[in-house]
Amino acid sequence: MAQMSKAEILFNERFSRHREEFEALYSSLYDDHESYDQLVKAMIAAAKARPADLRRLDAAREQDPEWYKRGDMFGMTMYTDLFAGDLKKLAEKIPYLKEQKLTYLHLMPLLQMPHPNNDGGYAVEDFDTVDPRLGTNEDLAALTKKLRKAGISLCLDFVMNHTASTHRWAKAAQAGDPEYQDYYFCYSDRTIPDKLEETVPQVFPNTAPGNFTWNEQMGKWVMTQFYPFQWDLNYRNPKVLVAMMSSVMHLANLGVEVFRIDAVPYIWKELGTDCRNLPQVHTIVRMLRIILECVCPAVILKGEVVMAPKELAAYFGTPDKPECHMLYNVSVMVNLWSALASQDTRLLKAQLDALNGLPDNCWFVNYLRCHDDVGWGLDEDVERGLGIDPLKHKIFLYHFFEGAVPGSWSMGELYNYDEPSQDARNCGTTASFCGIEKALITHDRPALDKAVDRDLMLHRTIAFLRGFPMLNCGDEIAQLNGWDYKEDPDRIEDSRNLHRSKFDWDKATLRKQKGTLQNRLWEGMESLREERKDPCFAPDAWVSTWDTANDAVLAMVRKIDGETLVGLFNFSNAPQHVHLNGSPQVMDALDADLEPYETKFVRR
């Protein structure tokens, strides 16, 4: 019998703590011992193949499991090609990232994809291979090593719900192979699809209506909840689970430290349900968490869960049986923009109260803009309780941010407008949404000053919230909308390309030149990092909103070990006065005056 390696011994020690639960989780979904054995073998193989430097990182993170909750965490998201061209060139730009003291870099999908129809990289052809246009697996491993040396953890998307229709599994299914047809949901007639359509909402009712697409070559209907070229995976088939988990481990061994698991609420389908947030989803996410803790414990999970706060806590699991380490704070992002347009923070405060009321293991990545649109998924029950008409408010918001409401300073575009429901979303960069683009076009200096104040006030707000802030690449230099996408036939059909434009390196050179727009934003972002050095940004700090007796101003309180920090954020275009009542357990009463879009930090 061959002697076990140190890596295998360590894996066995870790797995022994989880084996009983892992087997039970697997057995609750599948009756297939062969696939279970294949999964465990894949875990052992990945543990043995893990590079030595990553094993050292594993050991360090096991001693510091809440490393991602530190106050100095500061993130950025970007597309590799738009920022630098490819992975090798991006590695050359690390000094620019270090200059911003980034600790977290989220690169948009970079695995092999079809061109041009790839949904921004979320249609994946090969989960184990970097797209040739961006580089090689070796380039990715080299980049992650350089980022680690710079103190930056790399996050990649892992698209769990679907593959591209050009994936090798989908090609085999289209060629008539029943084994690979069982990797997806394929039906010869409309009986099951019609039953599912009765209860499953449409993701893109305007641009991609329905949840099934007819495949002529295969002669079957295939489930495609997102776009016709994205085929939903069938996780009822254990071979799908084994293959996808193996790919996660492979990417982790290339140095990926954070996985953003995409569209995870959708991955389990059940007749008679809306196929969202089903219990089996949590079983799979819990299994993934165990796999990471046993094979590569330095690696953490970030969930993309675009759901109401009541649905979010489940994706963190429990302290004893955790799932995701953190989630994208989608709901607060939407409420921030709503508060800015309406100059009313009541909805935002209610949403923050709901999130702050979640268990202590819930942690968030806070952001204003990302690769995606802004969808106006506000809490309609709360809106009605505040006397706000949900539909009228949504219509106001999407017209405001496209610049079609009198008095709007925003420049953006609609996305996915649906006339029957009057639903729509918005596209645009942070700077353009805040009025910087319009002020520059009209040469209105006072308007520009206010637009910059809006921009920085929003960023200071996300930096104060529970979790850590993440910039969208270009926010730090006030990058504007890229209207030239309309001149590209491959991009014109998707208005999200408005905020997916090439990074403006010429503008970036102005970041250190006093008096420039870029310098004002750059120094503003530096102030965010300084703000978060305060001891009140410790992971276990108490965080709460506070009543200001003024709906235009949001107040947040952070408290730890006798230290209390109050953040005041004026979301209105006018000066405001606030009064905060005192509390014997928290702080003395406070009165303050704020200029339009001003932020104040007060020590109590």
Which are the catalytic amino acids? 262, 304
106: left (phi over 0), alpha (psi -120 to 50) or beta: beta
Q: Where are the beta strands (DSSP E) in 168-311?
A: 186-187, 212-215, 220-223, 230-232, 258-262, 300-303
Strand partners, 204: 208
- Identity of the residue numbered 411: M
What are the φ/ψ torsions at residue 404 (nearest 5 degrees)?
-100, 5
Who's near 102: CB < 8 A, 6+ residues apart? 74, 75, 76, 152
Q: How far is C-alpha 291 from the chain's CA centre? A: 22
* CA distance to 121, 122, 247, 352, 437, per residue, from 492 (Å): 16, 18, 33, 36, 21
Q: How far apart are CA 323 and CA 315, in angstroms?
A: 6
> Residues with Cβ < 8 Å from 70, sequence gap 6 or more?
539
Calculate helix-pair angle for 346-356, 330-342, nearest 10 degrees. Answer: 160
| CA trace torsion 493, 499, 505, 506 (10° rounding) | 90
What is the Cβ-side half-sphere exposure of residue 592, based on CA atoms within 13 angstroms? Answer: 25
Amino acid at 446: P
Q: Please tell me whether the peptide bond between 116 and the residue prior to it is cis, using omega within 30 degrees of 0.
A: yes
What phi and psi values does residue 424 have, to the nearest 5 degrees? -165, 160
